[in-house]
Amino acid sequence: MTSKSFGKLADGKEVELFILKNKSGAEVRLTNLGAAIVSIVVPDRGGSFGDVILGHDDPQGYVADHSYLGFIVGRYGNRIGKGEFSLNGKVYQLGINDGEHHLHGGVNGFHRKLWNVPASTDSSVSMRCISPDGDEGYPGKVTLDVTYTWNDNNELVIDYKGTSDAPTILNPTSHGYFNLTADPRNTILDHELLIEADRFTPSGSGSIPTGKIEKVEGTPFDFRAWRKIGERIDAPFEQLQLARGYDHNFVLNRYDKAIHRAAAVYEPKGGRLMEVFTDQPGIQFYSGNYLDGSLKGKGGIAYQRRSALCLEAQHFPDSPNQPQFPSVVLHPSETYRQTTTYRFSVKK
């Protein structure tokens, strides 16, 4: 691991850039601003290296970013309806930043923090965020440690460890935007997708779950076998029309708190394959529907609609208000843990 300055914030604080390179020359770059993944450079079928994740060239890009490119988001990844939930008989009102709802931890969530870096090795970087009691309306002082490890198998392993000094809710996730062509001027519509889920959670207005859990069978949400993302994305199906494409939580078939494969994406032209392994109960598939060209990233490229996809391992959206969903409550006597791995390889 090597580190260098990534630049400075408006208040003069230094932002760091961390570079992890494995034996094959594949490389991951990270920053402690929002604990964001800046780049992932891996080979295609022909051995050509390319950057498969969207990001920014400097801290100013991340400060101005409202699409959460590569950030660790939280305290609550995804949405909480009207930013309100009840815990132990008390109602908490969170910050509203997505219509009338709370999204990805609010305006000043984990993605807006300059994380500390308490430890690093040749292949890993550990970052820490301390969120005070009342931060964005959440109860309890939360300490979240996230360790990124880049190994010789081209696996980016993300380990989370969280504690709180009072009962609270916690559901962080990594919000990476992937394009396996390594050129975000291409769309991801020809990428092929597999999701290990028989069910999903349909949403109503504002992308808040209705509370139902429905089967994917017979719908455009059936990715149990490989399907091109663009094959059915514009089908006259209400759930797709509400979200302008895919932006939904899939209920993973195997949830026993062990690590299992949740999803895989394949780009047939270059041959890159990305597999996602997690111990979480759900994965949010987002097809970049709200990228509109106004956000410029690395190299000044304007990120257009459907130029990337997200596969966010997490608990279900709005879980604090949906008692039938797995619980996201964290007590002071407990430790929140999550491990999610993004594995990159090629198909010959």
In CATH, 2-346 is 3.30.1490.20: no
Per-residue confidence band for 4, with pLDDT thresholds at 50, 70 and 90: very high
Tell me the pLDDT tens digit for each residue of 52-97.
999 999 999 999 999 999 999 999 999 999 999 999 999 999 999 9
Query: Is a pLDDT exceeding 90 seen at residue 264?
Result: yes
Tell me the pLDDT tens digit for each residue of 226-246.
999 999 999 999 999 999 999
**pTM of the entire structure?**
0.98
Select which of 192, 248, 312, 315 is catalytic: 312
Distance (Å, rounded) from C-alpha 184 to C-alpha 1?
A: 27
Check: CB of residue 341 under 8 Å from CB of residue 222: no
pLDDT (0 to 100) of residue 205:
87
Per-residue confidence band for 293, with pLDDT thresholds at 50, 70 and 90: very high
Select which of 111, 175, 191, 315 is catalytic: 175
pLDDT (0 to 100) of residue 261:
98
Catalytic residue flag (residue 111): no
Query: Is a pLDDT exceeding 90 seen at residue 348?
Result: no
**What is the chain's mean pLDDT, rounded?**
98
pLDDT (0 to 100) of residue 102:
98
- State mean pLDDT over 146-173: 98
Q: How many percent of the chain have pLDDT more than 90?
A: 99
Per-residue confidence band for 108, with pLDDT thresholds at 50, 70 and 90: very high
Tell me the pLDDT tens digit for each residue of 306-329.
999 999 999 999 999 999 999 999
Catalytic residue flag (residue 312): yes
